[in-house]
Amino acid sequence: MAEIRVLVDDLDEKPDTPENPVSRLRYAYDGTEYQIDLSAKNRAAFDKAVEKYIGASQEYISSAPESKPARRTSGGKGKSSGASRASEVRAWAQTKGIKVPERGRVPAEVKARWEKETGERFDSVSSPAPAVPAGSAQTVSPAPADSAADKSPDAAAKLANVS
């Protein structure tokens, strides 16, 4: 006998329907992986809640051989990823004679001067961050949506896969 499974939003306990699509979200935080089933409405609320933290975060790519490679998807308006933006700002700073570290965060003063002189925002990146391996510290990173309703180019598009 066939078994039919229907996802139910873990917050409001409403089932998956065409009017209320539910998908599974996988993410990691502080080295622990989680999954939650959310409706499109609750997924949007989740995305909005973590958006500023994801935007301020640094990319983390494990050097462990058993880790999965980072997955990238095409993002919005073709802007560079966070790492590329940092590289762009570092190159700009060097042309101006500004000392900036080769790795790690770009100092706030350098970002501010770059933003002022170029008219661009350092954190206005529309590409997603790479996958975050399990066991990494202080990470939040949703997995791809399980339903078509969650594949819209919203804040979730900025977030990457865990699995």
Report pLDDT digits (tens) over 93-108: 888 888 888 888 888 8
**This prediction's pTM:** 0.40
Angle at 108 between CA 106 and CA 109, to 5 degrees: 110
Confidence category of residue 9, pLDDT binned at 50, 70, 90: very high
112: left (phi over 0), alpha (psi -120 to 50) or beta: alpha
List domains and CATH numbers for the chain.
Answer: 22-74+128-158 (no CATH), 82-118 (4.10.320)
Q: Is the dihedral of CA 38, 48, 144, 57 positive or negative?
A: negative
d(CA 163, CA 76): 23
